[in-house]
Amino acid sequence: MRQVPDLVEIKAMDSADTLRSMRDQFTLPEGIIYLDGNSLGAASKITLQSLQEASQEWSQDLIKSWNKAGWFELPLALGDRIGNLVGAAQGQVVVCDTTSSNLYKVLHAALAMRPDRSVIVAEGGSFPTDLYVAEGVMSVLPDIVMRLEGVDAPDIENLIDDSVAVVLINHVNYITGELRDMAALTQTAHEAGALIIWDLCHSAGALPVHLDEAQADFAVGCSYKYLNGGPGAPAFIYAARHLHEKIRQPLSGWWGHARPFTFEQTYAASAGIGQFLCGTQPILSMRALKGALSIWDNVDLQVIRHKSIALTDLFINLVEAKCADYGFELESNRNGQKRGSQVSISHTNSYEIMQALIARGVIGDFRAPSSMRFGFTPLYTSYEDVWQAVCILEDVMATGAWRDAQYAVRAAVT
Ligand SMILES: *Cc1c(COP(=O)(O)O)cnc(C)c1O
């Protein structure tokens, strides 16, 4: 059996953890080990307080709050705060809409900037919405075709040539957690004359991201996963400043207008990143996000990354030591530097096993066809959580508890 730390050593790791006190800022229920912050981040006290304040602003100041409470400025103000977390200088990130709709805007705009080219390169293993949105864009631009990694060639690099307009890529794979080299792939795309769009859904708040340094063109991401903005919290768009004048995004609504309150008859895009706005934004969700982002003011993403790798390494080692006989296969990279903040393991009965875990208070999720995903959020996950989770997994397997028929019933959200 592999040598793994015991509970005494694991408690010592928690005592030495400089992020330990952050957990108190969240409102996690007793008895729950929450390993799904990569799908829906936990609520924090300050986020809920922010929602309370927003309800006051709405009920007491009504429409005056657009000016008085800064509602109208929230998309750009929050964009700059997220910019700090993804390596973007001010004025290049805006918070708005959903990742899916933002992908549409950005992909369409990027294709229009390479009118002589006709290819989108993406990943067969992409989070599906990226591919669905690309299909939607192609339905209005019939000359565009898509090449997929894993379908048309094993490696994305082999798909990038001088016919490629845009490379659309997930920074961290949603199933395996595989982490791409942003600087290297951006360079490959640029050397071929293509633009690149990074989907940061599983990296914003999970690890340091360096958009400016990597010279990325565009990025999108969501704020309800590692940024803990709340269910359906608005997403974000990054566009490098030097591109702003050349962009024409297709959803040209009044919030992206240079002068929305002159109510002109024709569209004139706003000059900066605000041109990616379309219509009135979900202010209550933005107010919640404002609270959630304030947590990050005193957090060093290098420390987050260090703990994230330690948590995921510990999980892998414990699963391999304690659950070696149960037919699990590791789907994530064993090298912590090459994965995001999650670990996936596969099993023929992943769905049932995950349901049995959830019934015992260990919340991860299932991704078809056979993955159990465990997300590790350094802000509120302890090393002891990891230990407990694996002990419960071991018990669910050893006792066969997962075979209970109730765990085979499929819910709408897995
Ligand atoms: C979660 C996720 C999305 C979600 O898109 P929504 O429009 O917010 O539903 C998109 N892309 C990736 C890679 C994701 O992980």
DSSP state string for 61-83: IGGGHHHHT-GGGHHHHHHHHHH
Atom of ligand 1 nearest to the CA of 172: 13
Q: Specify whether 142 is located in the same domain as 216.
A: yes
CA dist 169 and 182 (Å) reads: 10
Q: How confident is the model at residue 363 (pLDDT cuts 50, 70, 90)?
A: very high
CA atoms within 13 A on the CB side of 399: 12
pLDDT above 70: percentage of residues in the chain: 100
Q: Which residues define the annotated binding site for pyridoxal 5'-phosphate?
A: 99-100, 127-130, 199, 202, 224, 254, 280
Residue where a domain terminates, one of 298, 318, 334: 298
Q: Which domain holds residue 69?
A: 49-298
Q: Specify whether 292 is located in the same domain as 312.
A: no
Is 329 domain-assigned?
A: yes
pLDDT in tens, 70-93: 999 999 999 999 999 999 999 999
For residue 369, is the peptide bond before it cis, meaning its omega torsion is within 30 degrees of 0? yes
Tokens of 18: 């400089």
**pTM of the complete model beyond 0.75:** yes
Helix (H), strand (E), coil (C) string for 211-247:
HHHHCCCEEEECCCCCCCCCCCCCEEEEECHHHHHHC
Is 305 domain-assigned?
A: yes
pLDDT exceeds 90 at position 3 = no
Average pLDDT over every residue of 284-298: 97
Q: Specify whether 285 is located in the same domain as 326.
A: no
For residue 88, the domain's CATH number is 3.40.640.10
For residue 360, the domain's CATH number is 3.90.1150.10
Is 40 domain-assigned?
A: no
The per-residue b/e assignment along 142-163, b for 16 or more CB within 10 angstroms, e otherwise, is eebebbbbeeeeeebeebbeeb
- Cβ–Cβ under 8 Å, residues 213 and 92: no
Number of domains in the chain: 2
Just list the catalytic residues.
127, 199, 224-225, 373
Q: Specify whether 289 is located in the same domain as 358.
A: no
Q: How confident is the model at residue 411 (pLDDT cuts 50, 70, 90)?
A: confident
Ligand 1 center to residue 168 CA distance, Å? 13
pLDDT exceeds 70 at position 1 = no
Q: Specify whether 270 is located in the same domain as 313.
A: no
Is 414 domain-assigned?
A: no
Query: Given ligand 1 and candidates 39, 104, 127, which is best to mutate, with the most ligand atoms within 8 Å of its CB?
Result: 127
Q: Specify whether 205 is located in the same domain as 86.
A: yes
Q: Specify whether 382 is located in the same domain as 359.
A: yes
Q: Specify whether 60 is located in the same domain as 139.
A: yes
Reference 377, options 28, 100, 129, 126; nearest CA is 28
Q: Specify whether 74 is located in the same domain as 165.
A: yes
Q: Specify whether 68 is located in the same domain as 127.
A: yes
Q: Specify whether 352 is located in the same domain as 392.
A: yes
pLDDT exceeds 60 at position 8 = yes
pLDDT exceeds 90 at position 414 = no
Helices and strands in the chain: count of H runs, count of E runs: 12, 13
